[in-house]
């Protein structure tokens, strides 16, 4: 990725973490999500914690359940 100094996104997030393999973790309030290198929201902020994508294209995240009723076993 070429560094141009050009503003990629209007300041809509509280924090944008470094890009890794074309994706970056973003934070809005207390929720985390992901954007791609064009600034497009890939996964809206909805997680309680999120980590950057690794070399295999996987990322770990944490989403707390709002209530016990939301979780069910098959």
Give 15-33 pLDDT, tens digit per residue.
999 888 888 999 999 999 9
Q: Where are the beta strands (DSSP E) in the chain?
A: 15-16, 23-28, 31-36, 41-47, 49-50, 61-62
Q: What pLDDT was estimated at residue 23?
A: 86
What's the rounded Cα separation, in Å, for the pair 67 and 61? 18
Residues with Cβ within 8 Å of 1's Cβ and at least 6 positions away in sequence, in order, are 19, 37
pLDDT at residue 71 tops 70 = no
What's the rounded Cα separation, in Å, for the pair 43 and 18? 16
pLDDT at residue 56 tops 80 = no
Q: What pLDDT was estimated at residue 20?
A: 83
Place 1 in a pLDDT band, splitting at 50, 70 and 90. low
Place 9 in a pLDDT band, splitting at 50, 70 and 90. low
């Amino acid at each position: 990725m070429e560094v141009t100094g050009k503003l990629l996104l209007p300041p809509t997030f509280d924090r944008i973490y470094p890009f890794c393999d074309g994706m970056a973790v973003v934070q809005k309030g207390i929720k985390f999500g992901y954007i791609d290198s064009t600034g497009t929201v890939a996964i809206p902020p909805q997680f309680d914690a999120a980590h950057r994508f690794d070399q295999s294209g996987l990322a770990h995240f944490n989403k707390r359940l709002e209530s016990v009723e939301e979780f069910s076993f098959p």
